[in-house]
Structure 1
Amino acid sequence: MNADFAELAIATNFSFLRGASHAEELVMAAEALGLSAIGVADRNTLAGVVRAHAAAKKAGIRLLVGSRLVLQDGVEVIAYPQDR
Structure 2
Amino acid sequence: MPTYDYQCRQCQYRFEAKHRISDPQPCCTKCGGACSKLILTAPATHGVMAAGREQAIHALQAQHSNNAHRHGPSCSCCRH
TM beyond 0.5:
no
TM-score bracket, normalised by the shorter chain, equals: under 0.3
Q: Which has the larger radius of gyration?
A: 2
Return the structure number with greater relative CO, CA threshold 8 A, min gap 6: 1
The structure with the greater share of residues assigned to strand is 1
TM-score, length basis structure 1: 0.27
